Amino acid sequence: MNPTPVTSGVGAVASDALGFTKVADLIRGRSGGRPQRRAALPGQGDGVELPGGRGSPTVGVLALQGGVQEHVRLLQELGARTVLVRVPADLEGADGPRVDALVLPGGESSTIDRLLRSFGTFEPLRRAIADGVPTLGTCAGLVLLAREVLDAAPGQRSLGVLDVAVRRNAFGPQLDSAEVDLATTLGPARVAFIRAPRVEAAGPQVEVLARRGQGIVAVRQGAVTGVAFHPELTGEPLFHRRLLATRRG
């Protein structure tokens, strides 16, 4: 692995309650303000059809707080339609499910949890994922998916749809943010770690996809994938492409 510390200007945001957006801006700044796109693997085009030939999938991106736009941009460049999910009606209407897949972005997991409950979206989201909607959670999204949060903020809840126990901010503060070349079972990936969580325990049905050092940083259980890092900030399409190709459970 070849970590690139995100140091320039980070000291100015270290006291920020979140600081995610500013650190993300530092990462984007290395590529002229936009994430660099990794080349597609042989035989992989940018347009991805859902299994069954229904054309471009519609992916709901949870948009209550955190890094949303980078996920939207990457998904659209891969050929998906995107909708922003805030309220239960964004997930399902009278005509049935409105999304084929879901992305839970990074941000502050305890804040997203509170907003989910305030908007009445917590249980509908949990139910949709438990019913088999393919889902990718990045950083705080991994924390939201987890069965247990070992160092949860007071009153913090998680969706409990991924059989892992996680620890928040396990790789250090903003000053330790880094871009990393990561070996995964799905292939190599260039990703960003920003106050990243770590999986401390995984159930027997959970597949470990990647480690950083001895720490588990990417897992999959059925149609649910959780990663501790940010592929969207570096323009890494590997995990989003897999999400689009995943069959509903």
Residue 107 banded pLDDT, cuts 50, 70, 90? very high
Q: Is the pLDDT of residue 172 over 80?
A: no
pLDDT given for residue 58 in this prediction: 96
Q: Which phi and psi angles does 99 have, rounded to 5°?
A: -135, 145
Mean pLDDT taken over the chain: 82
How far is the C-alpha of 153 from the C-alpha of 227, rounded, in Å?
A: 20
pLDDT given for residue 142 in this prediction: 98
Our answer to whether residue 139 is catalytic in this structure is: yes
Q: Is the pLDDT of residue 63 over 90?
A: yes
Which residue is associated with the tokens 């509170």?
114
Nearest to 35 by CA among 26, 43, 44: 26
Domain residue ranges of the chain, discontinuous segments joined by +: 4-245
Q: How many CB atoms neighbour CB 148 within 10 A?
A: 14
Which residue is associated with the tokens 């305030």?
118
Q: Which phi and psi angles does 96 have, rounded to 5°?
A: 105, -165
How far is the C-alpha of 140 from the C-alpha of 176, rounded, in Å?
A: 17
How far is the C-alpha of 91 from the C-alpha of 190, rounded, in Å?
A: 31
Our answer to whether residue 230 is catalytic in this structure is: yes
> Of 70, 71, 108, 139, which one is the catalytic site residue?
139
How far is the C-alpha of 113 from the C-alpha of 127, rounded, in Å?
A: 15
Q: Is the pLDDT of residue 48 over 50?
A: no
Average pLDDT over residues 115-138: 97
> Of 70, 108, 230, 236, which one is the catalytic site residue?
230
Handedness of CA 99, 104, 108, 111 (dihedral sign): positive
How far is the C-alpha of 18 from the C-alpha of 14, rounded, in Å?
A: 9
CATH T-level topology, domain 4-245: Rossmann fold (3.40.50)
Q: Which phi and psi angles does 129 have, rounded to 5°?
A: -70, -45
Our answer to whether residue 207 is catalytic in this structure is: no
> Of 179, 232, 236, 240, which one is the catalytic site residue?
232
